[in-house]
């Protein structure tokens, strides 16, 4: 099944990315991190993915490109 915008992916390798509002703050994204696809590149070769990183009530947004070989589909967004 092809991964589409608004689907949720799970990372299959550790990645890292900067805080959307502060590039100096970089956060680790361990294997199994879940994020929402916000854009699909090259017919599914890669995706722009937003991850929420944090604990309890304090989260930051990390948005990075993720190659198709670095993730797997976790949840399919309902079609309109």
Contacts of 36 (CB under 8 A, 6+ apart): 6, 7, 8, 49, 50
Res 1 pLDDT > 90:
no
Average pLDDT rounded to a whole number, residues 1-16: 96
* Mean pLDDT value of segment 10-29: 96
- The Cα 60–Cα 41 span in angstroms is 24
Query: What is each CA distance from 71 to 19, 58, 75, 80, in whole angstroms?
Result: 20, 25, 12, 24
Quote the pLDDT of residue 56: 77
**What pLDDT is stored for residue 57 in this prediction?**
85
21-80: per-residue pLDDT in tens? 999 999 999 999 999 999 999 999 999 999 999 877 899 999 999 999 999 999 999 987
CA-based angle 39:66:64, to the nearest 5?
75
């Amino acid at each position: 099944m092809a991964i589409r915008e608004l689907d949720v992916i799970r990372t299959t390798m550790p990645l890292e990315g900067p805080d959307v509002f502060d590039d100096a703050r970089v956060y680790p994204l361990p294997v199994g991190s879940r994020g929402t696809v916000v854009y699909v590149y090259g017919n599914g070769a890669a995706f722009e993915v937003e991850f929420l990183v944090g604990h309890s009530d304090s989260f930051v947004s990390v948005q990075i490109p993720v190659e198709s070989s670095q993730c797997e589909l976790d949840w399919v967004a309902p079609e309109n």
